[in-house]
Amino acid sequence: MSLTIKRIGSIDGIRGWSLFGILLANLLIFQYGIFGKDEISYFDLSQSNLFFYYFVKIFIEGAFMPIFTFLFGYSLILMRNSLERKQLRIKWHLFRRFIVLMILGGLHSTFLWEGDILFVYGLMGIFLLMFVNRKPKTLLIWGVLLFAAFSIISLFDSGEDFELTNPEKIETYLDETWIIYGTGTYAEIKDHRNNVDPMELSGGEAVLLLILMPVLLVPMFLFGMYAAHRKWLLDPLKEKQQYLIWLLILIPLGLLLKAAPYLFNEAGWSFGMSGIGGTVLPIGYICLFAFAYSKLHTHRLLIAFENVGKLSLTNYIMQTIICTFIFYGYGIGLFAKLGVTASLFLGILIFSVQVMVSTLYLKLFNQGPLEKLMRVFVYLKIH
């Protein structure tokens, strides 16, 4: 999701890698629904499918989206610096970019799929405008404070207040979703997605969730902005020893924290540990990819991730189009039929196709179609 700023191979590569992880995690939503993925006992999975379900929950889900969030903050500073060099109005151009993201996100969630992130990113981008001209130290302090606040809240709140408290209602919802998503027409699926909601949040709870959103999301945005100011990830070869140390610490710690809900019975405590792991593990994964870049920066695999990352916005939307066609009734109709194990192989296949298409496309064009559209609205110029 970038504008015409100087391309940084490692950043594009990490962005492409995060898209791969996001696809594998989102396949749970594509196949079981936004609520069904966390009510997996309803679908009576086999032992092998359960194994890979928990593998995805611990190693992948909630670990790659924060990487994308980190890179969003990183790119925000790169764009800010680019706009400043061109003597353009920084906040006004960024504001237009975030409005476009919100519009795309609204269209995406309304007409295609309930798992959209673009609207939230656009909304959070507007919130981040107050930080865009702050000093790196200020960004780090706010990031640490908000992360600490989130950690304390999550440690003492199991999240049960926001869970579906009516088992009969969620079962009825899943019954309807299975039928409609698996066999319904586009209009029926769209109507179900936009008008049927099993959540029972009061107005006060909804407001509280809205207030807590910055506390949950902003730390990774700010850490990414801080990293861009400090020019981290620009020279992986020079910093490889640091990346090696941190990946060896953060990845095992993050996996342990993510696994806490499945290892311990104390719901509130394990919920909090998992939430903290959702920040620790992604940073460890970033260090892992950066270390790989220091060793294999010209390897075909890393170049493949770069190519996907350069077209991140277009590829993200294409993942939705491809997967909804595969799983929904107006396409092949494999909703809740394929299984988690097979869906992982499907994810690898889809991403491999995206790698090939992105590589061929970039030989002909400099930007993806949605990236080009974004640039036109941000700069208000066709060329």
pLDDT for res 380 = 87
Give the C-alpha separation, 48 to 345, whole Å: 14
pLDDT for res 198 = 84
pLDDT for res 13 = 94
Give the alpha-carbon dihedral of 43, 48, 54, 55, to 10 degrees: -140
Residue with tokens 């997996």: 40
| Cα three-residue angle 311-312-315, rounded to 5 degrees | 80
pLDDT for res 151 = 81
| DSSP-derived secondary structure letter, 56 | I
pLDDT for res 201 = 62
Single-letter residue type at 337: K
Q: At what angle do helices 118-128 and 90-111 cross, to 10 degrees?
A: 160
Structure tokens, 318: 């294409």
Give the C-alpha separation, 317 to 306, whole Å: 17
| Cα three-residue angle 323-324-326, rounded to 5 degrees | 65
Where are the chain's structural domains? 9-379
Residue-wise DSSP of 5-40 = S---HHHHHHHHHHHHHHHHHHHHHHHH-TTGGG-G
pLDDT for res 202 = 59
* CB-based contact 90:80 (threshold 8 Å): yes
pLDDT for res 105 = 96
pLDDT for res 370 = 96
Other beta carbons within 10 Å of 158: 17
pLDDT for res 382 = 77
Structure tokens, 85: 């060099």
Other beta carbons within 10 Å of 378: 22
H helices of the chain, in order, are 9-32, 47-55, 65-85, 90-111, 118-128, 136-155, 167-183, 186-195, 203-229, 236-263, 267-296, 300-310, 312-327, 340-362, 369-379
Structure tokens, 154: 């999550």
pLDDT for res 214 = 62
Give the C-alpha separation, 21 to 272, whole Å: 23
Residue with tokens 């656009």: 122
Structure tokens, 378: 């941000």
Q: In tens digits, what is the pLDDT along the chain, a chain of 383 residues?
A: 444 455 788 899 999 999 999 999 999 999 999 999 999 999 999 999 999 999 999 999 999 999 999 999 999 999 999 999 999 999 999 999 999 999 999 999 999 999 999 999 999 999 999 999 999 999 999 999 988 887 887 766 554 544 545 677 889 999 999 999 999 999 999 999 999 988 766 556 666 666 666 667 899 999 999 999 999 998 888 889 999 999 999 999 999 999 988 887 655 555 556 778 889 999 999 999 999 988 887 788 889 999 999 999 999 999 999 999 999 999 999 999 999 999 999 999 999 999 999 999 999 999 999 999 999 999 988 76
pLDDT for res 164 = 47
The overall longest dimension of the chain from CA atoms, in Å, is 59
Give the C-alpha separation, 83 to 77, whole Å: 10
